[in-house]
Structures are given as structure tokens and as C-alpha cells.
Structure 1
Amino acid sequence: MMSGFCRTPFKYQIMKKITLILVTLFVFGCKPTEKAVETKLNYQSQVAVKGDWQVTDVSYANSDYIKVSLFDLGNTKCFVNSTWHFISNNNKGSMKINDYSCAYESDITWYINQNNEMVIKFLNGTKSKKVTTGYVVQYVPINENKFQLIEQADVLNKTQDIVLTFERI
């Protein structure tokens, strides 16, 4: 009678350890994967973007009928005629939405990586190291006076490209 009693706690401890191991594997195995952003810089593209730019067009499918927020700042139409200043040697700059109905201004940090992605953080008066969120958009050079940024957004449950066209001013 006594020997059966001693085995039960031992089996319980083994089952407890196995359960703990399985739960640990499940938690770490099911951890959501995030796309790592390339941090190696594309210096040539960064120097090409240096200077003052204006957004001359924002386009996406059905843009005349559907309103989409861009960079969580406002309607895409607000960005037309916005001005952007990029400083390439320290990856800082600023942007200003000039539309009076959705006026906005912020300092930014930015860089273009080896995958031709521009990584942008809007600082809103905060030091860049304290801003933990930002945006990764595709950088498409057209010529020395024109480039595009393409952000993918959910529009009516479909992923669409929102294209911002920049021209040097």
C-alpha cells in the first residue's frame, strides 16, 4: 500500500515537468514573427534624397471614392503639396502638411536601407530614441528630381499600394 503512494507524487512531478516543457515550447514556438527591417544603409539613395521635396500626387485604386489614412496622420489627400526636408548626413529632417483642414508639422528621422525601404519616424517634439514606432515604406527613385514612396495599406480588406510622388523644390 505504501509503495503505490510513493509512486504517485513521482509520476505527478514528471507530468508537471513535461507539461511545463510543452507549454514553454508552445509559447516560444508560436511567438508571432515580425519582419526584421534591414539596417544597412543605402548611402547613394540617401544622398539622392537630400534636400527639399514636395508631394505632388497621392494615388491608389479608387482614391476618388475611398478615404484612407496615411501614416496615421490623416487622409491621403492632405499630403498633396506637403513639404519634406531630408538631411542625409544625420538622417533627420522635417515634414509639413500645408492643407489648412489637416495641418500638421513634425521633425522626422529617416534612413533608406539596402532593400530600398525608407524607414520614417515622426518625432512630434519627442527625442528620436524615445519614439518606438515608425513606418517602413518602399523607396522608388524615378530621376534626380523625382521619387516615390509606396506604403501598403488595408483598403476594404484588401492590401493596396498607396503611392506618394515627391518632386524636388
Structure 2
Amino acid sequence: MKYILTIVIAFLITSCGPAYVANQVEKDFKGDWVLESISYPDASGLFEVELFNLASVSCFENSVWEFIPNNSTGNFVLDGNNCSKTQEEFTWYVDKTTAESFNPEMLLKITTGQKARKVDQGSRIRIISLLENQMVWEENAMFKGEEITIEMTFTKI
């Protein structure tokens, strides 16, 4: 009986592991962040890529992002070069299947004006680093038929 109880407790602890780690990572996102820079680490040249099926990269530069971890929502304001100022809403969460990996992944869906459950498209983003005052994301995108990596660096306000 003692062994069965030990096995059950061990199973419960290990099965909750990734969910717990994902929740801890999500808490680190809390607050306001500025998208300071966007780069293409594996490519050279100037690219005009559309992020999140919304706007060009230049519109996202210096955008302010707010993450609310207790309900997995947030918003950001696009106010970049030659772009009209718009506020977008999103839902997000850390993928529990990748939470314990070296680079966990976040799923982000733009939900402006819609219920999150009605939105069936989103973006998978690798969290390269998440520190107290800085975070770095990577996302793959298609440019002229080839996949490129976009790196986004945020600073906490």
C-alpha cells in the first residue's frame, strides 16, 4: 500500500510539472514592454515582412505591449514609421509541452474585436530569453518563398 501511495504521489508531481513551469513563465511576462528592435539573425539585407498578419515590421518598432498573465490577455499599440496608431488585443499562453525546454514557445492570437475562441489562427513564438527587464522572441516567417527568422527584443517599462 505504501508503495502504491508513493507511486501515485510521484505521478501527480511529475504530471503537474510542465503546467507549473508554464504558469511561472507566464507570470514573468506581467507588465508593460516596449519592442525595441527587430532583426533577422540568419539573413542580411533589409526585409519588409508582415508580423502577425497585421502590419509591416516597421509599424511594430517601439510598440508598447501589455501582458496580463492572470487571464492570458494583453494589448499593444502600433505607432511605428508611417503607420496609423492602432491598438490591438491578443490572447497568449506558454505551450505546456515546451515549457520545460531550453526555449519554451508561446502561442499568440490577435483577437481585436473578436472572442478568442472564434479566432483560429495565431503565431508560435520561441522565447529565447526572458529576464526581469528584457525578453527576446524568435518567430519564423516566409519571405519570397523562403523561411526567415525574425528576432524581437523587448525592454520592460
How does the TM-score come out when normalised to structure 2? 0.75
Q: Percent identity?
A: 32
Q: Tell me, yes or no, if structure 1 residue 57 matches structure 2 residue 37.
A: yes
- Aligned partners of 2:129 and 2:136 also within 8 Å: yes
**Structure 1 gap ranges (5+):** 1-38
User: What is the correspondence of 1:135-146 to structure 2 with a 5 Å cutoff?
Assistant: 135-146=123-134
1:1-150 map, 5 Å: 40=19, 42-60=22-40, 61-64=43-46, 66-99=47-80, 101-102=82-83, 103-114=85-96, 115=98, 116-150=104-138
The aligned amino acid for 2:143 is V
* Count of residues in Structure 1 that have an aligned counterpart in Structure 2: 130
CA displacement at 1:63 relative to structure 2: 4.6
4+ residue segments displaced more than 6 Å:
none
CA RMSD, 1 decimal: 1.8
Q: Which structure: larger Rg?
A: 1
Cross-structure match for 1:24: none
TM-score (norm 1): 0.70
Distance, in Å, in 2 between the alignment partners of 1:154 and 1:144 is 31
Paired residue secondary structure (1:132): coil
Distance in 1 (alpha carbons) for counterparts of 2:45 and 2:92: 27
Runs of 5+ in structure 2 lacking a partner?
Answer: 1-17, 99-103
Residues 112 and 139 in structure 1, CA contact (< 8 A), matched pair in contact too:
no
Secondary structure, aligned partner of 1:111: strand
Aligned partner of 1:10 in structure 2 is: none
